[in-house]
């Protein structure tokens, strides 16, 4: 597997933006009963494992929305509660860092289109869920 963050080097570590609602919703494990708890479990997995298959340091941002808002950040994962649409917030984050490698983790086709237009790479939920 090729590293989804292979790109020209940048002084800042690659930015990995995780569409929390989409990734959590990709597995029918009862997440809908406790959306905040599901987001916390994803955050903790990301903090413990980082980006599987990528050996170097990365900056991980988990975007949450709706009932999952208010999940706190932990060392290794910054959690951002989207003020409105989670997808719009993911796009804003990707647009704010044009000079560095960016990877957006989502299966949402429209979001994928929007962020690739900004030069970000995309990967599906299995990238972080295994």
Taking only the tens place, the pLDDT of each residue in 32-73 is 899 999 999 999 999 999 888 887 799 999 999 999 999 999
Q: How many CB atoms lie within 10 A of CB 9?
A: 8
Phi, psi of 62 (to 5 degrees): -100, 120
Which pTM does this prediction carry? Answer: 0.91
CA 79, 80, 86, 92 dihedral sign is negative
CB 74 within 8 A of CB 47: yes
Residue with tokens 């509660």: 81
Taking only the tens place, the pLDDT of each residue in 63-83 is 999 999 999 999 999 999 999
- CA 79 to chain CA centroid, Å, is 9
């Amino acid at each position: 597997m090729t590293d989804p963050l292979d790109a020209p080097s940048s002084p800042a570590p690659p930015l990995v933006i995780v569409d929390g609602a989409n990734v959590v919703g990709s597995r029918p494990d009862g997440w809908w009963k406790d959306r905040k708890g599901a987001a916390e479990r994803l955050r903790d997995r990301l903090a413990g494992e980082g980006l599987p298959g990528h050996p170097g340091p990365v900056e991980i941002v988990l975007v949450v929305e709706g009932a999952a808002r208010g999940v706190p950040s932990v060392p290794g994962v910054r959690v951002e509660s989207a003020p409105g649409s989670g997808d719009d917030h993911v796009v804003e984050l990707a647009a704010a860092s044009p000079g560095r490698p960016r990877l957006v983790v989502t299966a949402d086709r429209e979001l994928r289109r929007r962020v690739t237009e900004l030069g970000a790479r995309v990967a599906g939920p299995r990238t972080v869920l295994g």
